[in-house]
Each structure stands twice: as structure tokens, then as C-alpha cells.
Chains A and B, each alone.
Chain A
Amino acid sequence: MSDLVPLLSNLLSSGLLAGGVLALAGTGETVVERAGVLNLGIEGFMAVGAVAAIAAVTATGNLWLGVAAAVVLGLALGLVLALVVVLFRVDQVVAGLGFSFLGSGLAAWLGAPYAGTPAAVTFARLEIPVLSDLSFFGKAIFSLPLPTYAAFLLGPVLVHLVLFRTRLGLGICAVGENPAAADAAGLPVVALRCLCVAFGGMMAALSGAYLTLVLVPTWSEGLTGGRGWITLSLVIFAAYRPLRLAVAAFGFGLITALGFSAQVLGVAVNSAFLSALPYLATLSIMLVAGHRARRTARPAGLGIPFEREPH
């Protein structure tokens, strides 16, 4: 019994740490899909962000320049994706897969020199006074690195407020539900969609930076390991709501952490099976999310390019 608290405590903090990646990328993708666009390229954005961050940190020794590198590249690539799918109206599946391959391939190819070397600087754990001294789980919850708090609290709460409490958010949702009606009402459909796709690209790249500067913290080929795809299913599972997404991301972080803890404890379960757990769990929630109740939450204009009717 006395072993249980440190064990659960460890699990909790590992779950939050691991879930941060999904929370970051998922918050961004929620906005993208609310605006009616599907970014299937998250995996590629993530890989690029991860390499950009570690490359910048290795070159400058400054953590925030690493973050900035991911932000700039994510925004730039996001704008390119927006150009392709919003302006050129290219099939979003083809474009998304293209970005997925392009990003993963470039990151693995150009990131090879950084593979295996730990990040020069990483985000240290931030002990929040008083709270981190609380008994039981105080330490687990209140002594995490800054980006983990940002991923779970700042991002989802801000996006929730903007999406559901501001005119901008109302516009974004309208553009995703019925772009033609939004256009008729005078909303700048193309501009709003481009803005959201760029934001999503930035968040996905930031989640990559989180991998190399917080969680792992080193780059290796295949580091993203399908997290971009897991993010996509979490967004559906959370019914396109940022706060629910944060909870779901934590749940998935726990599942990942469960695998690690079991291995540490020497539980006689095969490691391949434990590694497969997140994918199996994602598959299961995809099957559950296919249920009708979840489907009604899907923005009606999702994945359909908008084109003004010719007069």
C-alpha cells in the first residue's frame, strides 16, 4: 500500500508529460477541423518541428530559440498547406499525406546529424511553491516543465474561449459548418481557413519541439511514431472540443506511461505488446467515435474545399 502512492504519482506525472505532445498538436488540429479543413500532415509537421528545435538549440544553446524555430517553420509550412488546400482546393487527403511524407522524410534525412545526441538544454521541471509540497500527488502534478502546463492549460483554455466565446471563434465555426452561408454573411472564408491551418501547423510543429526539448529529449528517426495520427483520432474522439481534447490527451499519455511503468516494474508482458498499446487504444476509440453521437459533432463542411458559386 505504501508503494502505491509513489507508483501512481510517477504514472500521473509520466502521463501528463507524454500527453503534452498530443495536447499541443490536438489543440491546433481542433481549430483546423473546426474551420472545415483536415490536416492529415500533422506527423510531418511534428517531425520538422522536432528537428528544427533541436538543431536551433544545438546551434545557439538557447531553449527559446528552439521553440521559435519550430514556431516559424510550423507557421510557414502551415501557410503552404493552406495555399494548397484552401486556395488551390487540392484534395485534402492527398495534400495531407504529401506533407506527412515530406516532413517525415526531410526530418529523417536532414536531422540525421542530430540523431542520438541529447538536447544541449531542456525545459527543467518547474516546482510550483506550496502546491508541489502537497501530500500524495502534489509533486506529480505541480512540478512539471513549463511546456506541459502550457499544453494542457494555456492552449486548450485559450482555444476554448476563442472558439466559443468570441466573434472570431463563431466565424471559424461558421466557416467550418457552412462556408457558403458564412461567405454570404460576409465572412472571409478563405482568410479564416488559412489562418486556422497556419495555427494548426504551428501547434503541430511545437508538439514536435516538445518531443525533443521536453519529453525524450533527443532526436531519432521515427521519433514521432504515429503521434500525429493518434492526434487526429483524439480530435474526433473529443468531439472537436479543446477541453475534452486535453482530457483525452492525458488519458493517452497515461496509456503510454502504463507501458513504461509495467516494463520498469518487470511485469511479465511482452514489450512489443506494451508498445502496441497506444495504437490499439487509438483504434478502439476510433471505432467508438464512429458512433452516431460523435459524428453529429463533426463540422459539416469538414474536408470539402470551398468555392464561391460563379455568378
Chain B
Amino acid sequence: MFDGYRLERIRVPGARRGALFRLIAVLLALAVAAAVLALLGHHPLTMGRDALAYTFGSALGLQDLGSLVAPLVMTGLAVMIGKRVNLWNIGGEGQFYMGAWAAAGIGIFVPGPAVLMLPLMALAGAAAGMAWIVVPAYARARANVDEIITTLLMNFIAVLIVGYFATGPWRDPGQTISASSRPIQFALPGLYGDLNIGIIVALALVVGCWVLFTRTAWGYEASYVGANTDSARYAGIPAARRVMATLLLSGAVAGIAGAIEVSGTVSRLQVGISSQFGYFGIVIAALAGGSFPGIVLAAFLMAVLINAGIILETQGLSLNAVIALTGWLLLLTGIAGVAAGYRLRRVHPRTGKVSA
């Protein structure tokens, strides 16, 4: 079938080619998901139309979407920051939980003016996020301990801690169902309807990180360490310190996401405060493929998918179906990344010369 054709490796595939292949992967993943739904007896086209009509056709739908985009941009950004030093922060979920926990602690118990308290809550969230990655980061930077497993394990502990506080010491005694804490006294200023300024904070963080990693010497050094640690060390860059600082920043961003979730969208500390945002962040970073604007686009796409999963719950879908879809998406994105590095070339049958 491939007579007369030859796979040829492209030395450095361009960013645009990579993005095109990832886009194809997304479309292919959705097509396969639709086929699976059809096989299971659903009507994927009707479902897709219903979900899109609600999400984009109503003010409420758009607000829901916006409230999802904000945390997803931040958790995606957190993963991408780690990838700058070529490491995987799979612990965004736990850092999100701990950020929410720290912010809620201040928001419930410390009195003060909102103007002061809201930034303080965000700072506490950042600090908690950092605290939740400091051990894996140090172990990685100093002793080369695999960060994937350690950051992930921290997630389970964070979920247990938040569960303990939300249903234990911080429980709302007025509530019969004791799955959430007392209300937080401060709320983020709203933008429009249910949508708060969280989305602006998220976008500002993306811009800030873009500047840091592409326009400063520090960011250049960190990326250098990520590309080739030995070479960077030889060039006199303190590799371990750059790795440490970059991972702490990654944890801080995920922590801020958690702080914003409790001070904006949820306003209580809940057992399931993160709807798997940390894990979705991994898929978002993979889809973005190292591009900062790509994070926003990928987070938007993911928000649409999650929203669809929630809206279509009555039709047999759920957040879990979306998680399965994102796993499939991640696989195809990986394949697309490899495929982008090859080109199919026609070989002239007689001369053996290659033509495009």
C-alpha cells in the first residue's frame, strides 16, 4: 500500500506543525468518543448539540464555562511550568486542595477588611501549594528521586486532610449534611453574574509566567536546565536551585487556583473541592505543547468538555466519562507528538529520488 512512499524524519518539527497534529488528535479523540457513545446506545450528535446549545446559548451556561476555565488555566499552567525544567508535577490536585485549605482557614477565622484578606488568602494558597511540593522538589533536585510518583502520592494525603477539616474541626454546625466547612467571610469581586475575577487572575498568571520564562535570564536558565541539565551545569547555572524554584512556582500556581476556588466559586471548604482540576491540568499542558497561549485555549476546550459531561448527566454521562475521554485524548496527543516528527515522502520509482 505504501509502495513508492517513505517515512522520513523531520529534524526539528515546527511549533505550528505540532499544534496542527494535536488539533487532529483532538478531533480524532472526539470522533472515537462519539462512536463509543453510539455503540453504547446513546445519540452523540444530539448530546453534543444539547451541550453546546446550553453552554454557549445561555448566560448561565457561559458563566459556568468561565468559572471552569479559571481553575483549569491555572492547573494547566502549573503542569507546564514543571515541564519547563522537564519534570512532571502530577500533584496539582493536592496543591489545589491545600491551597483551598489554607485560604479557607484564613477566610473562616481571621477577621479583617476584604481588600486585605483576599490577597492574603491567595498568598496563603500559594504558600500551601509550595509546601505541598517542597519535599518532592527537594528530593528530585538533590537526590534525583522520581517526582512523578512523589507528587502524585501527596494528592491522596491532601484529599484526606481537607476531608478531615471540612467534616471535623471546621464543620458547619448549622448544616445537617456535614460535607463542608463554615462559610468563608470574603468573596472575590464578581465580573458578571456568577463569574468572578478569578479568570483575570488566571490570565495574569499566564502572562506573568510567559514573561518570566521567555523574557528573563532566570527563565532562560531554567529552560536550559530542562533541555540539558549537564550542559547547563557546565555553563555554570545552579541546576538544582533552578529546578527547586521552578517546581515551587508550579506548586504555588496550583495553590492559588485552590484559594481562588474557595474564595470565589465555592465559598466553603468542601470534601471534593477540586473536580479533578489538577489531573485535567496535565491534559491541558499536554494539549498546549509548551505554548502559553495554548494553555488558555486548551483550558477552554477542557472546560467545554467538562461542562458537557455535567450537563449531560441526565443522559448517562458524568465527570468520569469526561476523565476517560481525557485519558484517550492524552494518548492521541502523545501519538500526534511522535507523528509530527515524520513526513510521508514520495520516492520516484525509477530514479529513487525523493520528492515532497
What is A's interface to B at a CB cutoff of 8 Å? 40, 44, 84, 88-91, 93-95, 97-106, 108-109, 112, 221, 225-226, 229-230, 232-233, 236, 270, 272-273, 275-276, 279-280, 282-283, 286-287, 289-291, 295
Contacts and interface: CB of A to CB of B under 8 A. Distances in A.
A88 B155 CA distance: 31
Closest 8 A/B residue pairs (Cβ): A105-B324, A102-B327, A101-B327, A105-B323, A290-B145, A98-B330, A108-B320, A98-B331
A291 B320 contact: no
Contact of B283 (A101, A233, A276): A101
Contacts of A112: 318, 320
Interface residues of B, number: 45
A280 B330 CA distance: 29
Contact of B135 (A103, A233, A282, A283): A283
Max count, chain B CB within 10 A of own CB: residue among A44, A84, A291: A84
Interface of B: 88, 90, 135, 139, 143-146, 148-150, 152-157, 160-161, 163-164, 168, 279, 282-283, 286, 317-318, 320-331, 333-335, 337-338
B91 to A, nearest CB: 11
Contact of A95 (B88, B153, B279, B331): B331
Contacts of B149: 229, 232-233, 282, 286
**Chain B interface, >50% SS class:** helix
B160 A275 contact: yes
B161 to A, nearest CB: 7
Contacts, number: 133
A283 B150 contact: yes
B164 to A, nearest CB: 4
Contact of A90 (B146, B325, B338): B338
Contact residues of A: prevailing secondary structure? helix
A271 B150 CA distance: 22
A91 B160 CA distance: 31
Given A88-B338, A280-B157, A105 B321 contact: yes
Given A102-B330, A103-B327, 7 more contacts: A84-B335, A95-B331, A105-B322, A225-B156, A272-B164, A289-B145, A290-B143
5 contacts: A93-B88, A101-B326, A109-B317, A225-B156, A226-B156
Given A276-B156, A286-B150, A290-B139, A101 B163 contact: no
